[in-house]
């Protein structure tokens, strides 16, 4: 199990990104959270297996239909042992 801190840049607020990320994370069995940041980015912390996190980060590069993702940064973080995936 790994923990990733993911930051998504572009037109990613006001396009149902958080709800879509939660749905995708739950489909993949990931736990963690997603939130909008004051700088216009979306920030996600996600925990799961290497292969599932890779699928999720790939999804983040596309996002939901109306999003326009410019860049995704993903880095290792400290494992938090989240129990669910939530929108904050």
Q: Locate tokens 């990613």: which residue?
A: 12
How far apart (Å, rounded) are the C-alpha atoms in residues 43 and 6? 6
Known catalytic membership, residue 88: no
Catalytic residue from among 18, 35, 61, 81: 18
Known catalytic membership, residue 5: no
Structure tokens at 65: 């239909």
How far apart (Å, rounded) are the C-alpha atoms in residues 65 and 34? 18
Catalytic residue from among 2, 36, 81, 88: 36
Q: Choose among 69, 73, 61: nearest CA to 4.
A: 73
**Active site residue ranges:** 18, 36
């Amino acid at each position: 199990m790994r923990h990733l801190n993911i930051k998504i840049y572009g037109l990613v607020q006001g396009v149902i990104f958080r709800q879509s990320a939660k749905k995708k994370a739950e489909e993949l069995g990931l736990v963690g959270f997603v939130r909008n940041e004051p700088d216009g980015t979306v920030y996600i912390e996600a925990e799961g297996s290497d292969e599932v996190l890779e699928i999720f980060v790939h999804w983040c590069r596309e996002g939901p239909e109306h999003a326009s993702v410019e860049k995704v940064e993903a880095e290792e973080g400290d494992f938090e042992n989240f129990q669910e995936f939530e929108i904050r």
